[in-house]
Chains A and B, each alone.
Chain A
Amino acid sequence: MGESEFDVVVIGGGSTGTAVARDCAMRGLRTLLLERDDIASATVGTCAGMISSGLKYRREPDIVRMCSREVVNLNRISRHIIMKVPILTPFFSLEEVGSSTDYVTSYANHAEERDVPEMLFLTPDAAVELEPKLNPDILASVYYEEFFIDPFRLCMLQAMDAMNHGAIVKTYCEVIDIETDDAGSVEGVVYYNRVTGAIEKARTKTIVNSAGPWAHKVAEFAGAKLELRLNKGAHVILDRRVVNVGLVLKALDNRWIYLVPHENTTLLGTTALDTWEDPDSLVASFDEIEYLLQSFEKHVPTIREARIIRTMAGVRPLVPQWNMPEEDVTRGYEVIDHETTDNVKGLVSFTGGKLVMCRIMAEDATDLIMKKLRRTTKCKTHEKPLPGNEDDVDIVALSKEYGVHMHALERMRARRGTEIVKILELTRDHPEWKTTICTCEPIIEAEIRYAIREEFPQTLNDLRRRLRLGTGPCQGTFCTYKAAGILADELDLSGDDFLVDILDFRAERWKGIRPSMRGEQLAQEELAQGMYACVGNLDQSDVDYDIKPWEEGT
């Protein structure tokens, strides 16, 4: 096969795209993954990371079963990036208690396989003791346990594993056309390489369209039709853990929303608004923020005392079921074979799905492709561990051996698992790389350089996804310029690029900070302005800064 010929080209590097690339590569297909921005830069990058038991979809027992099984699979292959979160759901009326039986039962059906308890009923006193911030005016509450995963690491590790099995992963490559033959069958893709500025081609007879909220546009390139229901969801992120357990309860409009501890922050989410705007331009709105805060205020009266550090917003590519609220839309997924639906041979698309299902979605799609290619290798993605998950890691011993503080290693372990040793080894020749660059997480220089060398980031924002750079309370105020220097060093960037990197990352952080600006963040941003504008004079810099999609307009 020629250099630009592939068995399969996957479009979209989110949770599903990277899972597909991994499965295809593991089954011996010559695979190319094209992502127009960075891995996990779209929908999956703005979700809470819950790999849910499917509780919400109890009306679709097949989906509940699938979710439960996938939680087991994910725990098997990527335990190191998964956290268990105990959850409380308080009830305020007998009616609520009564109506809960059906989901309590369906939850119980599969609890054991995930190694979690069934839903347990607690007295109000017990609930308040577990979570003192809870409004004690409750009738009863139910306790259960769910799992959360780091979505960025999941996608990155799936991509890395795909590469380990021979796949080629290209970020910043935007597909601008799909070439078809006279019969309408797929022949190849045309893509714009945003880093080099070149237009490139790849030949293939099979394309998997996992472009999420852009999947319908990609399908159009091939002359196929794909309908989606696009729905915006926003989260508010609070600094540090302010609740001990996750709280799942009903919002002002009776939707289920949650407040969950997530690594070293707390997530409050989420909203649902059908959208037709450019997903890249969306930011959380004041209404969405107030909706979440006011909904929670009833149950956690002190919620506004917590420090809001930022917001995030993304678009769900739902299965196109209309005439019903977003909540009622199926969370199952569809694998669409366009040969059958549009007579376009060689194009497979997805609609719907949830983070927890990404592996099974990939399995189904890859099974379909293998069948079309008349190959028989079976799926192994549920068995083989993702990189880093091979073993446990002894933080205390590593700390002593390499002379790095335990907490920094513990946070690194949550991202890297066994890979942590490779990073620490870099410090043998370069002890100065043990220096802390991001003081909020923390992140040491060695991990930044490792990520730049091994995980193909182009910008500080890409580094943020890989390392959680700039995700703490200071939102990158202090690490932006330091990390920019390291990136400039590793990629041999010009002075202008160094400054543009700083401005780009400040812009990206500002995107999420601005909608919820208040309280402590006012002081934080005054400091950031004081540094980058007042001292650095970057507001007067004439470097080539590109206006971002969300910055356009008045």
Chain B
Amino acid sequence: MDFHTDLLVIGGGMAGLVAGTVATEKGLETVLLRKGQSATAYSSGAVDVIGYLPEASAPFISPEEGLTAIAGLYPLHPYSIVGYGEDVSPEQVVDTIISRTKTAIDWLKEHLSKTRTPLVGDFSSNIYPITILGTTKPTCLIQQTMYPADLEENEESTLLFAGIRGFPEFNSAAAAKTYLEDRVALSLPPRKVAHCEIRTTPFGETLNLSQIEIARHLDHNEGLEDFAAQLKDHTDRVGATHVAIPPILGLRNAVANQTKLKDLLSAHVFELLGFPPSVPGLRLQLALEGIFQESGGKMMVGHEAKSFKLKNGVVESVLAQAPKRAATISAKAFILASGKFIGGGLTGDENGIRETIFGLMTVTGSYHSAEDILPSKSTNRLAITPEGQPVYATGLTVDPNFRPIQEEGVEWAGNLFAAGSVLAGYNYSVEKSGLGVALTSGYSAALNVSDYVKEVSK
């Protein structure tokens, strides 16, 4: 059935859900279309704000330091866009960027604190959680279950990496060695490190275990108790004060489980950052969906934005296609948060890079047209380097209000806004900035939409 709403958000990851929630909180009637889950749902569950400058090797000490650098060197970076309000003088740009980002981060922390997936971390410094490879990476916010407590500060700490038999995603021995060798290379104080393997059997077998099965198993008391009992043998044996486990602490009861384990083991258990499909990513996705719906937003799952109607410089409506039904949704404003190549917001072949729904102008990371580029020419010979692969910095370029623009620099439609990884000008994999950009661009776009809708409703 066709209907009308104030705001239609296209895309249900961090950017879309944050934008939708902020708009609903500002009094807008909001509908969100989602054709599938995506990067947010299988992310590691940590919220990166800014870890590195593109192509650089020294991590930022804090998001604040990073944003200052970005604002200076990359004026069209999605983080920098918020610094271009009409009422912002040139001297105020950096401060505006920093304060807006901080507001968004506080907003997210505050909202998630009421869910089963609270975040810890601060805008004032980056933290370095350990990954399942044993490496570390800079990030701003992690889930409480990933918080390693006083691992770094406590000089007497003994860290135990606990792997699980039949769970191939985590090799505790390799991770332990990597972690130790990293510390030596960085001249960090030595640490006692051990590794072990325990058994947990969600379905009676110790093979082909996946993160989700184990997490669901630990959501049940018997599962957690058995897990704790086995861990205890090892923590007692090595005198572990801290235990690093893969991200399987639970889907619903992870925080409670962490507390229970602390009591049972007298050691602080924390989750490592994991690879897709990661349970903490799913927790984050579910928590954000809950927040959106609780604020009054309406989600239309399984619907894809297939086509649109444009009239007099504004988008009138979008056709939302479900498997066998369709609905035309008209709205006063639209936010496009459709993702990059994974999410399907962008697509590319030997004829160039295209935005898939509205056919908006796409640009490269250096703001040249991406409409004719050959994707393979937008790549590096080396696979994994701090330069990253330039093709992943392509996307939409926006005006200070986060509205995608056309070649002449004019907004494509007065009421179409964009947020998240569909934006150009940043490479989240090497900057470590993915969910941060999604959060702040979604937050900012929603504020702008709210102003816009109130304006046109007069």
Q: Is A406 an interface residue, CB under 8 A from the partner?
A: no
Q: Give which listed residue, A498, A515, A536, A540, contacts B376 with CB less than 8 A.
A: A515
Q: Which of A531, A536, A552 has the most CB of B within 10 A?
A: A536
Q: Mark B339-350, 1 if CB is under 8 A from A, else 0.
A: 011101001111
| B44, closest chain A residue (CB) | A535
In the assembled complex, the Cα of A519 lies from the Cα of B376 at a distance in Å of 11
* B-binding segment of A23-31, A124-132, A374-382, A429-437: A429-437
A495 touches B168 (CB 8 A): no
Q: Which of A535, A541, A542 has the most CB of B within 10 A?
A: A535
Q: Mark B394-428, 1 if CB is under 8 A from A, else 0.
A: 00000000000000000000000000000000001
Q: Is A244 an interface residue, CB under 8 A from the partner?
A: no
Within 8 A of B (CB), among A508-554: 509-510, 514-519, 522-523, 525-527, 529-542, 547, 550-553
In the assembled complex, the Cα of A552 lies from the Cα of B380 at a distance in Å of 11
Instruction: Take A432-B206, A536-B133 as given contacts and tell me if A523 and B341 are in contact as well, using a CB distance cutoff of 8 Å.
Output: yes
Residues of A within 8 A of B376 (CB): 286, 514-518
Q: Mark A410-424, 1 if CB is under 8 A from B, else 0.
A: 000000000000000
Instruction: Take A431-B207, A485-B171, A518-B349 as given contacts and tell me if A495 and B386 are in contact as well, using a CB distance cutoff of 8 Å.
Output: no
In the assembled complex, the Cα of A523 lies from the Cα of B346 at a distance in Å of 9
Q: Give which listed residue, B59, B137, B185, B374, contacts A535 with CB less than 8 A.
A: B137
A535 touches B166 (CB 8 A): no
Q: Which of A304, A489, A519, A530 has the most CB of B within 10 A?
A: A530
- Nearest CB in chain B: distance from A5 CB, A: 40
Q: Is B173 an interface residue, CB under 8 A from the partner?
A: yes
B348 touches A522 (CB 8 A): yes
- Nearest CB in chain B: distance from A553 CB, A: 7
Residues of B within 8 A of A433 (CB): 207
Within 8 A of A (CB), among B159-204: 165-166, 168-171, 173-182, 185
| B343, closest chain A residue (CB) | A523
* B-binding segment of A219-227, A248-256, A499-507: A499-507
Q: How large is the interface on B (under 10, 10 to 19, 20 to 34, 35 or more residues)?
A: 35 or more
B131 touches A529 (CB 8 A): no
Residues of B within 8 A of A328 (CB): none
Residues of B within 8 A of A538 (CB): 133, 135, 384
- Nearest CB in chain B: distance from A330 CB, A: 35
Residues of B within 8 A of A517 (CB): 375-376, 379, 391
Q: Is B430 an interface residue, CB under 8 A from the partner?
A: yes
Residues of B within 8 A of A431 (CB): 166, 205-207
B342 touches A536 (CB 8 A): no
Instruction: Take A432-B207, A519-B349, A526-B340 as given contacts and tell me if A445 and B168 are in contact as well, using a CB distance cutoff of 8 Å.
Output: yes
Q: Give which listed residue, A478, A499, A526, A540, contacts B52 with CB less than 8 A.
A: A540
Q: Is B275 an interface residue, CB under 8 A from the partner?
A: yes
| B432, closest chain A residue (CB) | A534
In the assembled complex, the Cα of A509 lies from the Cα of B175 at a distance in Å of 23
| B180, closest chain A residue (CB) | A495
Q: Which of A286, A435, A478, A522 has the most CB of B within 10 A?
A: A522
Instruction: Take A435-B166, A481-B275, A518-B348 as given contacts and tell me if A542 and B185 are in contact as well, using a CB distance cutoff of 8 Å.
Output: yes
Q: Give which listed residue, A522, A540, A547, contacts B57 with CB less than 8 A.
A: A540
Q: Is B383 an interface residue, CB under 8 A from the partner?
A: yes
**Number of A-B residue pairs with CB-CB distance less than 8 Å in the complex they form:** 180
A482 touches B169 (CB 8 A): yes
Q: Is A488 an interface residue, CB under 8 A from the partner?
A: yes
B388 touches A482 (CB 8 A): no
Within 8 A of A (CB), among B77-114: none
B174 touches A518 (CB 8 A): no
Residues of A within 8 A of B182 (CB): 495
- Nearest CB in chain A: distance from B354 CB, A: 11
Q: Is B304 an interface residue, CB under 8 A from the partner?
A: no
A494 touches B177 (CB 8 A): yes
Q: Is B392 an interface residue, CB under 8 A from the partner?
A: yes
Q: Is B13 an interface residue, CB under 8 A from the partner?
A: no
- Nearest CB in chain B: distance from A427 CB, A: 9
Instruction: Take A435-B166, A495-B178 as given contacts and tell me if A536 and B135 are in contact as well, using a CB distance cutoff of 8 Å.
Output: yes
Q: Mark A37-78, 1 if CB is under 8 A from B, else 0.
A: 000000000000000000000000000000000000000000
Q: Is B385 an interface residue, CB under 8 A from the partner?
A: yes
Chain B residues touching A, majority SS: loop
Instruction: Take A431-B205, A432-B207, A499-B178 as given contacts and tell me if A537 and B136 are in contact as well, using a CB distance cutoff of 8 Å.
Output: yes
In the assembled complex, the Cα of A525 lies from the Cα of B383 at a distance in Å of 10
Residues of B within 8 A of A531 (CB): 275-276
Q: Give which listed residue, A498, A530, A547, contacts B429 with CB less than 8 A.
A: A530
Q: Is B324 an interface residue, CB under 8 A from the partner?
A: no
Residues of B within 8 A of A436 (CB): 168, 208
Instruction: Take A432-B166, A437-B168, A526-B340 as given contacts and tell me if A532 and B39 are in contact as well, using a CB distance cutoff of 8 Å.
Output: no
Q: Is B355 an interface residue, CB under 8 A from the partner?
A: no
- Nearest CB in chain A: distance from B132 CB, A: 8
- Nearest CB in chain B: distance from A509 CB, A: 8
B348 touches A498 (CB 8 A): no
Q: Is B389 an interface residue, CB under 8 A from the partner?
A: yes
In the assembled complex, the Cα of A328 lies from the Cα of B353 at a distance in Å of 41
Q: Is B48 an interface residue, CB under 8 A from the partner?
A: yes
Instruction: Take A434-B207, A534-B429 as given contacts and tell me if A551 and B382 are in contact as well, using a CB distance cutoff of 8 Å.
Output: yes
Q: Give which listed residue, A481, A496, A518, A527, contacts B350 with CB less than 8 A.
A: A518
Residues of B within 8 A of A234 (CB): none
B171 touches A533 (CB 8 A): no
Residues of A within 8 A of B237 (CB): none
Q: Give which listed residue, A509, A519, A550, contacts B381 with CB less than 8 A.
A: A550
B52 touches A495 (CB 8 A): no
In the assembled complex, the Cα of A478 lies from the Cα of B43 at a distance in Å of 14
Residues of A within 8 A of B133 (CB): 481, 498-499, 502, 536, 538
In the assembled complex, the Cα of A507 lies from the Cα of B389 at a distance in Å of 13
Q: Is B134 an interface residue, CB under 8 A from the partner?
A: yes
B429 touches A435 (CB 8 A): no
Q: Is B273 an interface residue, CB under 8 A from the partner?
A: yes
Q: Is B66 an interface residue, CB under 8 A from the partner?
A: no
B389 touches A529 (CB 8 A): yes
- Nearest CB in chain A: distance from B438 CB, A: 13
Q: Is B442 an interface residue, CB under 8 A from the partner?
A: no
Q: Is B434 an interface residue, CB under 8 A from the partner?
A: yes
- Nearest CB in chain A: distance from B128 CB, A: 9
In the assembled complex, the Cα of A435 lies from the Cα of B170 at a distance in Å of 13
Residues of B within 8 A of A522 (CB): 341, 347-348, 375, 391
Q: Mark B300-329, 1 if CB is under 8 A from A, else 0.
A: 000000000000000000000000000000
- Nearest CB in chain B: distance from A239 CB, A: 15
B388 touches A529 (CB 8 A): yes
Q: Is A88 an interface residue, CB under 8 A from the partner?
A: no
A506 touches B375 (CB 8 A): no
- Nearest CB in chain B: distance from A501 CB, A: 10
A435 touches B168 (CB 8 A): yes
Q: Is A169 an interface residue, CB under 8 A from the partner?
A: no
Sorted nearest first, the 4 A-B pairs with minimum C-beta distance are A485-B171, A495-B178, A495-B177, A510-B383
A: residues with CB less than 8 A from B are 286, 290, 304, 431-437, 445, 478, 481-482, 484-486, 488-489, 493-496, 498-499, 502-503, 506-507, 509-510, 514-519, 522-523, 525-527, 529-542, 547, 550-553
Q: 17 additional contacts, CB 8 Å, given A499-B135, A539-B429?
A: A431-B205, A431-B207, A482-B171, A485-B174, A488-B174, A514-B376, A515-B376, A518-B350, A518-B376, A523-B344, A526-B429, A527-B342, A533-B384, A534-B430, A539-B384, A539-B386, A540-B59
10 cross-chain CB contacts under 8 A: A432-B206, A485-B174, A499-B133, A515-B376, A516-B376, A518-B375, A522-B348, A534-B137, A536-B275, A550-B381
